[in-house]
Amino acid sequence: MTPPTIIPQETPPAFLGVARSATGRLWRDRLDARGAAQALAIVQRYQLPEMLARVLAGRGVDLDAVEDFLDPTIRKLMPDPFTVTQMEAAAKRISDAATRGEKVAIFGDYDVDGATSSALLAWHLRHCGLDPLIHIPDRIFEGYGPNVEAVRALAAKGAKLLVTVDCGTTSIEALAEAKRLAMSVVVIDHHQCGEELPIVDALVNPNRPDDLSGLGHLAAVGLVFVTLVAVNRELRGRGFWKAERPEPDLLGMLHHVALGTVADVASLTGLNRAFVAKGLLALRRRDHVGHTALMDVSRLNGPPEAWHLGFMLGPRINAGGRIGRADLGVRLLLEGDVTEAARIAAELDRLNTERRVIEQAAEAQAEAEALASLGLEDKGAVIVTAAEGWHPGVVGLVAARLKEKFARPAFAIALEPGGIGTGSGRSISGVDLGKAVRQAVSDGLLIKGGGHAMAAGITLRKEQLAAFRAYIEHALADDVAQSRNVRELMIDGAVSARAVTPELVATLNRAGPFGAGNPEPVVALPSHQLVYADEVGQAHLRLRFKAGDGAIVNGIAFRSVGQPLGNALKENRGQVLHVAGSLTVDRWQGAERVQLRVIDVAVPDAGPAMIR
């Protein structure tokens, strides 16, 4: 018998024959032969539409798991909280604070995950009859995580228990100070750990080396939710809940969990999918004052979807931490007065507009620097840009834009007059940025730094900038080359304009919510004529495509002007193109119409397009 390892493997054909698209990608069918068979089996057993079955099969959903995937429930997916290392100790110490009526201090991060984590924990403690202190650090003056001065201030206000959320794992010195001040400390965090862990009463972090819970994909707010499930159980056992003080309904606070999970780009798999699916239902009820005010000021039309949380609601909460008051987001999420919530939401909206202006100016400067460093030959594995005058609150957004534009890891660093630079990095698939940054700290190139595979934060001295640039280029060159060499766009299926209906979008959305770990379905429209293309908004292109039978589909290509995609669309007005994108329902002035968010196009080869 021929050993299976030497049987030649057939390379699957390019989808619609597209070997190189306008953005330089090879189009592939997300389903290989085995996946196609799985999709057929799903259709036959569950009588589902073929396109939905293809989407499910393309995300590795087992035949027996289809019904649970389509309706993810927290009850089925919630593990025993005590499988998380030191969770039992954390639940007992928080419960002790509730039964003793102690003063508790919450120290949160300044991003959306930190704000929602802090709000969820504070809401619960208030139900327990406590009035917790909440401290969200100033991004510029305090930086990330607990600091000694803030810890001393909280102790001076009488805090006996300090709970850090979405931070604390690497805060060795600050948490040691808390212990010296006789404070108990519970850390609830999900960031990667260094070799040294803080000495605290409980460190709840599913990404610590000795944790076997398998919950490392949870955002901090999801981990806080699991912790509070454990606290409720502990207090129930102590007889704490009574008729006059009923057990708080955690499921009623899934708005917070959904927003923090999506905004932190946590993988929408397992328990996270259930959190977001049920949290979106909670948001649609509009029964939470803060979230409703946020949706209204964001001009969100129709029922909220996962992408609204990441691109509309999240940035406004973040704006407070980036360029305004860091605690505005938490205050909004805890506010019970409709008028005051509307005022805070309006201020966050104003700050978000201001943030966009600041970001665009820095982005233009960073992009020019990146182009100069890459040169005409487009050489370099990593982009490292730095300048004086950039606002430290927008460098992460600038790094993300650079990563998207140049398809390689990117850093943006704001240099302060004293010679200290504060920066953020964003990575591409297959390149672990956090690991490289931690090594740079060990090597003395950075004052401090940390993060995870896809994002990292750094602080360095200006004179070390060149050395850090050389180090990160060398450290990541091989991984970046390998990642950039495989530039594929995975297509879930092909449709024509006439099939693009609200019913099709609703069918595909049954496989949602979509986001990191559960990618939005990408459909291809074979051989559709581009009959209209015009600029709109901030560098977007509004589009219309016509099928051979005359059916029309509207499209939008976001931030495409001046990019390869936008250039290809402008150059091919009136021409027939293969088009790839995701479907959404556009709601405007009470009317609904389907819109294709175009992410790629290709000029068809001569001859009829084949749907593979």
Per-residue pLDDT tens digits for 96-143 = 999 999 999 999 999 999 999 999 999 999 999 999 999 999 988 888
Look at residue 608 in the predicted model and tell me its pLDDT. 43
State how far the Cα of 60 lies from the Cα of 32, in Å rounded to an integer.
12
Average pLDDT, the chain: 93
Residues 213, 329: one domain? yes
Q: Residue 63's closest CA among 86, 40, 32, 30?
A: 40
pLDDT digits (tens, 9 = 90+) for 36-76: 999 999 999 999 999 999 999 999 999 999 999 999 999 99
> Mean pLDDT throughout 476-498?
92
- pLDDT band for position 589 (50/70/90)? low
579's enclosing H/E stretch is strand 576-588
Number of domain units in the chain: 4
pLDDT digits (tens, 9 = 90+) for 445-455: 999 888 778 88
Would residue 359 count as lying in a domain?
A: no
Q: Is the pLDDT of residue 489 over 50?
A: yes
Cβ count within 10 A of residue 424: 24
Considering 349, 370, 400, which residue would you say is the last residue of a domain? Answer: 349
Would residue 104 count as lying in a domain?
A: yes
Residues 258, 149: one domain? yes
Q: Which of residues 504 and 611 earns the better pLDDT score?
A: 504
- pLDDT band for position 606 (50/70/90)? low
Written as six digits, the tokens of 136 are 């969200």
Look at residue 612 in the predicted model and tell me its pLDDT. 33
Instruction: Out of 5-9, 47-51, 413-417, pick the least confident.
Output: 5-9
Residues 125, 109: one domain? yes
Residues 512, 430: one domain? no
pLDDT digits (tens, 9 = 90+) for 388-414: 999 988 999 999 999 988 989 999 999
Residues 45, 145: one domain? no
Considering 425, 460, 487, which residue would you say is the last residue of a domain? Answer: 487
Q: Is the pLDDT of residue 590 over 90?
A: no
Residues 500, 610: one domain? yes
Q: Would residue 525 be called left, alpha or beta, if left means φ above 0 and alpha means ψ between -120 and 50 degrees?
A: beta
| Cα 440 from chain centre | 25
Q: Is the pLDDT of residue 11 over 80?
A: no
Only one residue has tokens 């946590």, namely 266
Considering 20, 40, 70, which residue would you say is the last residue of a domain? Answer: 70
The values of phi and psi at residue 353, to 5°, are -65, -45
- pLDDT band for position 1 (50/70/90)? very low
| Cα 253 from chain centre | 20
Would residue 375 count as lying in a domain?
A: no
User: Hey, which of 104-108, 300-304, 454-458 has the most confident mean pLDDT?
Assistant: 104-108
Look at residue 301 in the predicted model and tell me its pLDDT. 81
Residues 342, 291: one domain? yes
Residues 586, 501: one domain? yes
Residues 273, 337: one domain? yes
> Mean pLDDT throughout 573-579?
97
Would residue 357 count as lying in a domain?
A: no
CATH (domain of 609): 2.40.50.140
Written as six digits, the tokens of 488 are 């594929």
Instruction: Give me the domain span that covers residue 331.
Output: 77-349
CATH (domain of 399): 3.10.310.30
Q: Which residues pair with 584 in a beta bridge?
A: 595
Residues 84, 66: one domain? no
CATH (domain of 169): 3.90.1640.30
User: Hey, which of 214-223, 322-331, 426-435 has the most confident mean pLDDT?
Assistant: 214-223
Give the N- to C-terminal CA distance of the chain in Å, as an integer: 32
pLDDT digits (tens, 9 = 90+) for 239-280: 999 999 999 999 999 999 999 999 998 999 999 999 999 999
pLDDT digits (tens, 9 = 90+) for 351-363: 999 999 999 999 9
Look at residue 325 in the predicted model and tell me its pLDDT. 86
Residues 236, 296: one domain? yes
Any long-range contacts for 432-435 (C-beta under 8 Å, 24+ apart)? 432/479, 433/409, 433/476, 434/192
Q: Is the pLDDT of residue 6 over 60?
A: no
Look at residue 607 in the predicted model and tell me its pLDDT. 43
Would residue 2 count as lying in a domain?
A: no
Would residue 108 count as lying in a domain?
A: yes
> Mean pLDDT throughout 283-301?
95
Look at residue 12 in the predicted model and tell me its pLDDT. 67
Instruction: Give the CA-trace dihedral at 80, 82, 83, 89, to 10 degrees.
Output: 170
Would residue 177 count as lying in a domain?
A: yes
The rounded percent of the chain whose pLDDT value lies above 70 is 96
Residues 150, 39: one domain? no
> What single letter denotes the amino acid at residue 308?
H
Q: Which residues contact 167 (CB under 8 A, 6 or more apart)?
A: 107, 108, 109, 114, 144, 145, 146, 189, 191
Would residue 372 count as lying in a domain?
A: no
